Chain A
Amino acid sequence: MSDAGAMPVLEARDISIRFGGVEALKRVSLHLMPGEVLALAGDNGAGKSTLIKILSGVYHADAGELCFDGRAMQLRDPQDARAQGIETIYQDLALADNLDVGSNIFLGREPTRRKLGFQVIDRPRMAQVAREVLERLDIVIPSRKLGGPVKMLSGGQRQAIAIGRAIYWNARVLIMDEPTAALGVPEQRKVMALIGSLKAQGVAVMLISHNLHDIFAVSDRIVVLRRGEVAGERQVPHTNGDEIVRLMVGDTWANGAR
């Protein structure tokens, strides 16, 4: 869906960052189109996490620039990124386990109404939105569990809530760090299907995964990082697992293994 001519929703140009003596990222550039799923692949220590932390406002790049909708963008902190429409879903989900689905979707941004002169949380509205968001993502959670703490739900359902929270707040870019790492196989499939439906709704998804099978199942394009540099970029229909692995570990290693 990366139709040429359209404007990238998110673009990173020549991003570099150092931690002490280590150059974690060296002039990394990539872009993300609306409705596109871009996979970020790479071995451990290749710089994937560092890059997404820059894109979500956690780290600040030493050099290079970020563009959102073609305009240069400065991210002071993660809140800043979320305000722009860049939501990041971390491996550990960041849900409050003791709260219900609606409370988690609205955490920190609760709707209120006036009651007896006080601002009270509008729980009926939160429950209503929770149902709508889950419906939009085609997630079935029994209604009696909807009002209970999310720790009673499965890993996949919880992952879905984290995704639902991001899309409810109109995320235009969704960065997912190993979204299936902690899940069982049927739940991994469900999350992969969710990514597909987000893409259909025009959300740009950046997927970080170790699992080449997942990457090939949902992505349109793959950017491979190796030792802080872009080792290559491939369209999914025109590549295969062997080539991606070769890019990840480097030619010498791949050849040496044969």
Chain B
Amino acid sequence: MNDKRLDRLALVSKVWPWLFLGALLVFFEVWARISAHRSFIFNAYNLQSIGLAASAPLLLAIGQTFVIVTAGIDLSVGFVMGLAAVCVAQFTIPGGGSPWVLVLSIPLTILVCLIPGFVNGVLIARLGVPAFIGTLGMYGVARGAGFLAAGSGMTVAVDNAGLAWLGQGWTPVVLTAVLLAFMHFVLSQTKFGQYTYAIGGNPQSAVRAGINVRRHLFAIYLIAAAFAAIGGIVYTARFAAGAANAGEPMLLDSIAAVVIGGASLFGGTGTVIGTLIGSLIIAVIEFGLVFIDVNAFWQFIVVGVVIIVSVLIDQYKDRLGGAQ
């Protein structure tokens, strides 16, 4: 294996999510032109639908990216999102339709959702519980808490002008984009981001380098919970109702987005931009297949295959790196 070929392979593994996203868009565009004489991409409704479909799991996936880079995983974010969706509805209802109640209900919701993040932090960073097990426990706790908070029904309807504004049109997409840009900056440019990679690469060396690994892991599970909370708030804003199971399908989508975006579940690699591309790939597949009238259940199969392919590419790349 010569160096040039290795470089080319490394490049391919880095850019393939972009190429794949591009190929998907071209495919649906050509299909739309031929079968219906209209555009797939240059259509505000389609773009907004894809943006909205991508932004909900993307909010979870941003936090999940940080967790996975440290070689962890957070299984609780889906139901923390549901808990947030219910909580923000319940906390907003007593204030009636006034937008001002949001000043209280939104921070309160985030605060409540930081509790499972805090417990994850204690379990994983302090007590050394494997992330899979610790967050699986909080998955159950957040799930039960969400349904209990929702009361008799599974959903809690809320009618609030401010919340409605937050959920209408492009607002959730823009909010997600701003948060995404900021967290991309944090992961790629700051010491916090650098230490996240260092911990994922070799926790021993991070400790010897004087990095406070425990405190850092703690912060990362809090971040994951905070983003899950924001995801739940946006959900309730969009649908004018909070559902305890709002985030259930989002959990695996968030992990899939991170993995398709090039992160390794063994930690140490992954970027926020990669996660964005991963979410867009999933959203384009889901929306595009419906758009060309393919049975909606095919989307699960296609996304499943894409996940497997991306993991195989990651492993192949690692084997090449290790063989040298």
Contacts and interface: CB of A to CB of B under 8 A. Distances in A.
B221 interface: no
Interface stretch (A10-18, A46-54, A111-119, A199-207): A111-119
B211 interface: yes
B321 A110 contact: no
B293 interface: no
Contact of B191 (A97, A99, A119, A149): A119
B137 interface: no
Interface in B43-61: none
A95 interface: yes
Given A97-B268, A115-B189, A108 B202 contact: no
Interface in B6-25: 7, 10
Contacts of A109: 209-210
Interface string A109-142: 1101001001111000000000000000000001
Contact of A118 (B189, B202, B205, B211): B189
Contact of B205 (A95, A120, A151): A95
Contacts of A121: 189-191, 194
A98 interface: yes
B155 interface: no
Given A107-B206, A144-B7, A151-B322, A96 B189 contact: no
A152 interface: yes
B152 interface: no
Given A96-B206, A98-B201, A120 B322 contact: no
B220 interface: no
B198 interface: yes
A109 B201 CA distance: 17
B185 interface: yes
Contacts of B10: 148
Given A108-B210, A119-B190, A121-B191, A94 B204 contact: yes
A152 B189 contact: no
A209 interface: no
Contacts of A78: 208
A74 interface: no
A92 B205 CA distance: 10
A110 B194 contact: yes
B197 interface: yes
Give chain A's interface residue range (CB within 8 Å of chain B).
20 to 34
A23 to B, nearest CB: 28
Given A94-B204, A110-B194, A121-B194, A151 B321 contact: yes
Interface string A141-158: 010100011011010000
Interface in B180-201: 185, 189-191, 194-195, 197-198, 200-201
Contacts of A142: 3
Nearest to A90: B208
A107 B185 contact: no
B2 interface: no
Interface in A67-95: 78-79, 82, 92-95
Contact of A107 (B3, B190, B198, B268): B198
A152 B191 contact: no
A99 B7 contact: no
Contact of A103 (B189, B194, B321): B194
A105 B3 CA distance: 25
Contacts of B185: 118
Contacts of B204: 92, 94
A183 B293 CA distance: 60
A223 B69 CA distance: 45
Nearest to A116: B185
A18 to B, nearest CB: 26
B189 A107 contact: no
B184 to A, nearest CB: 12
Contacts of B268: 96-98
A79 B204 CA distance: 14
A120 B189 contact: yes
Interface in B243-277: 267-269
B152 to A, nearest CB: 48
B191 A79 contact: no
B234 to A, nearest CB: 26
A185 to B, nearest CB: 18
Given A98-B200, A98-B201, A107-B198, A152 B190 contact: no
B35 interface: no
A160 to B, nearest CB: 16
A98 B7 CA distance: 16
Contacts of B295: none
Residue among B202, B210, B211, B269 with most chain A CB within 10 A = B202
Nearest to A115: B189
Nearest to A154: B324
A112 B191 contact: yes
Interface of B: 3, 7, 10, 185, 189-191, 194-195, 197-198, 200-202, 204-206, 208-211, 267-269, 321-322, 324
- The 10 residue pairs across chains A and B that have the minimum distance between CB atoms: A108-B209, A98-B268, A98-B201, A96-B201, A107-B209, A94-B205, A120-B189, A108-B210, A96-B198, A96-B202
6 contacts: A94-B205, A108-B210, A110-B191, A110-B194, A119-B191, A151-B322
